[in-house]
Amino acid sequence: MKRYESQVDRKSEEYKRRHSAMLNKLSELNLHLKKVKEENPKAVAKLKKKGKYPAREKIRRIMDPGTEILEIGALAAHEMYDDISGGYPSAGSIIVIATVCGKKVVMMANDPLVKSGAWVETTCKKNLRAQEIAMDNHLPIIYIVDSAGVNLERQAEIFPDQFHFGRIFRNNAKMAAMGIPQISCVFGFCVAGGAYLPGMSSELAMITQQSSMFLAGPFLVQSALGQVVEMEPLGGTEMHNAISGVADYQFDTEDEALQWIRDQVAAIGERTKAGFSRTKAEKPYYDPEELLGILPASPTATYEMREIIARIVDGSRFEEFKPHFGRTLITCFARVGGFSVGIVANQGKSVQRKMPDDPLGRPQSPQVQIGNVIYSDSANKASHFIMLCNERLIPLVFLHDVTGFMVGKMVENNGIIKDGAEMVNVQANSVVPKFSFIVRNSFGAGNYAMCGKAYDPRLIFAWPTARLAVMDGGIAADTVLLTKRDLNDEAKKKFREELVKKYDIETSPYYSAARMVVDGIVDPRETRNVLIEGLEMAQNNPDIPEYKTGVLRL
């Protein structure tokens, strides 16, 4: 593949402005991440006095030294529970993809320093995402349990809908049938329905004088049955190991339990991997640091998307598919970390489309196509490319900067709905792993066509510049105002300001990350590393079905 010839000038004032603006956004991101990961020293000291480690420390002691983790949902519940003292940092749960004894695993840890590990709706959504990742990629999952169960003041948010608390135990059963190892260790409380999580795992360990499991605690038992019973005989470690048989192992210290978890992972045999093409990895020719100076500070200013691709892929080399057709979308083959990938990316600038001469031979003026918009030709190119990648077992990467499909009389007459539907169809039915990164805008049906969260990407991360919504706030306000004929000019102005402000909040990547619409917000320089981590985990699932799309309205 030919190396891309970059035009980025690191000495230009425009590059410096863009670089500075992105650094400001990254400073904001790092402050938010520091806040949610910062542990209260007094609370940590109290834990350690009991012989217990904080949740993140447990994870560090389980994972292989010197390896990296990919955290999922670090900003979950961000600014969502301000009515609760201290909020709900990371939704009271820590989810990571890590390496343990040389194997990729998912780890799911309750954080007892956040409301004793009690669950709210976002905690449930986050933990379901962890199980989804384990199932999609056939990864062993480790449950580090220390939770008071459902937050009873908010039970209606978490029980009993399809994707509420009960879905977790359904997934336990499904993963068991899939042959996915589930290793649980109860490090503290495990109450009510939450006891089924470790109870349905492959193996379960508890710690003497620390762990307890019961469907109803001492107070509820006394209230319901009039029985007065202490914690240990009701559901302590010794009872469950010696009498009920619910637990399989008993340890005296957390260090022993953490080593046991590593030993169990080490004993897991190797399975057949997916047959993705992988060669020796090569670093990008261009410095990923330059990613910070490519994207404009303005959400509407132009740039060249190929410059971004060149700083993510191996050797900064890629081969474009149909480079002269459907030019508001870039489709190309490349390698990332040695893996063969197909990339679908929205162009960041307007392009000229050459028009054929009319029947009388008169030359026609080129037609300007707006960047970041999907036209019929772009959609048709993407559909063809996605089918090629599925035919050839090549994972797909989507780089979003899309304001939607083109609208207007001419494109409607030419069948933009049909062409867009075809792209959504082939993408939705794709059987190879898909990975999405929201670089800037991801609006409307463009989000769907480019594999938004509803379309099962193995991972989906946003840059700090991302905006997700049905459309831009200003356009939405102007559209709604066309129906507000009874308002005077002053009222219209106020209405517009309020709606735009609302959109500014709701389109923020922090709003999406808080609600697990994305798996997190990533430093652009880490995009390549996140993608490699995703590809390495995806190859653990060899079960790739036959690719079918059904009827296409061609």
Helix (H, G, I), strand (E, B) or coil at 334: strand
Of 386, 279, 372, 287, the closest CA to residue 343 belongs to: 386
User: CA-to-CA distance for 215 and 315, rounded, in angstroms?
Assistant: 56
Task: Take residue 105 and report the two structure tokens written for it.
Answer: 């695993």
What single DSSP character describes residue 207? Answer: E
Q: Is 184 helix (H, G, I), strand (E, B) or coil?
A: strand
- Return the H-helix or E-strand segment holding 5: none
| C-alpha to C-alpha distance for 283 and 394, rounded to whole angstroms | 20
Cα–Cα distances in angstroms (integers) from residue 335 to residues 175, 312, 324, 331, in the given order: 31, 9, 22, 13
Return the pLDDT at 85. 86
Please tell me the distance from the alpha carbon of residue 330 to that of residue 321, in angstroms, as a whole number: 8
Please list the ranges in the chain whose pLDDT falls under 50: none
138: left (phi over 0), alpha (psi -120 to 50) or beta: left
389 Cβ contact list (under 8 Å, min separation 6): 342, 395, 396, 430, 432
Based on its alpha-carbon atoms, the radius of gyration of the chain, rounded to whole angstroms, reads: 26
Burial state string for 88-100 with b = 16 or more CB within 10 A and e = fewer than 16: bbbbbbbbbbbbb
Of 338, 339, 342, nearest in space to 426 by CA: 342
What does the pLDDT read at residue 363?
63
Distances from the Cα of 246 to the Cα of 168, 186, 236, angstroms: 19, 12, 11
Distance of CA 193 to the CA centre of its chain: 27
- The pair of structure tokens assigned to 361 is 């031979």
The DSSP secondary structure of 300-317, one letter per residue, reads S----HHHHHTTTSGGGB
Quote the pTM value: 0.96
Whether the CB-CB separation of 2 and 309 falls below 8 Å is answered with no
d(CA 277, CA 292): 30
- HSE of 280 in the Cβ direction (CA atoms, 13 Å)? 0
3-state SS class at 319? strand
Q: What is the pLDDT of residue 480?
A: 95
In the numeric block, which tokens belong to residue 218? Answer: 């001492």
Q: Return d(Cα 55, Cα 386) in angstroms, integer.
A: 41
Adjacent-strand bridge partners of 101: none
**Residue whose C-alpha is closest to residue 262's, from 173, 180, 140, 168:** 140
Helices (H), 226-355: 231-235, 237-239, 254-266, 305-309
Q: Which residues contact 29 (CB under 8 A, 6 or more apart)?
A: 464, 521, 523
- Write the DSSP symbol of residue 241: I
Distance CA 224, CA 249 (A): 31
Please give the pLDDT value at position 348. 95
If one counts every other C-beta atom within 10 angstroms of the C-beta of residue 239, the result is 19
CA 167, CA 135: separation in Å to the nearest integer?
13
